[in-house]
């Protein structure tokens, strides 16, 4: 029984890593391309994506 619990733990950890990596890649791929302009307390910031 203890061996099965360890196996489930490893499979669960791998599933969490795959889901997290998928979400990260999706977020990076759907980012708008171009120039990002931010206005804040420190002034104006311009970043190229």
Mean of the per-residue pLDDT values of the chain: 89
What is the C-alpha separation between 34 and 24, in angstroms, rounded? 20
Domain that holds residue 35: 2-48
| pTM score | 0.59
Structure-derived torsion over alpha carbons of residues 21, 25, 26, 32, reported in degrees to the nearest 10: 150
pLDDT digits (tens, 9 = 90+) for 38-48: 998 889 988 87
pLDDT value of residue 4: 84
Please give the tally of structural domains in the chain.
1
Percent with pLDDT over 70 in the chain: 96
pLDDT value of residue 37: 87
* pLDDT at position 32 over 90: no
- CA distances to 23, 29, 34, 46, 49 from 20, rounded to whole Å, are 5, 14, 26, 29, 23
What is the C-alpha separation between 47 and 34, in angstroms, rounded? 9
């Amino acid at each position: 029984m203890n061996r099965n619990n360890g196996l489930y733990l490893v499979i669960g950890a791998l599933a969490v890593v795959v889901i997290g990596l998928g979400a990260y890649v999706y977020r990076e791929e759907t980012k708008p391309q171009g120039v990002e302009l931010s206005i804040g307390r420190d002034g104006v910031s311009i970043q190229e994506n």
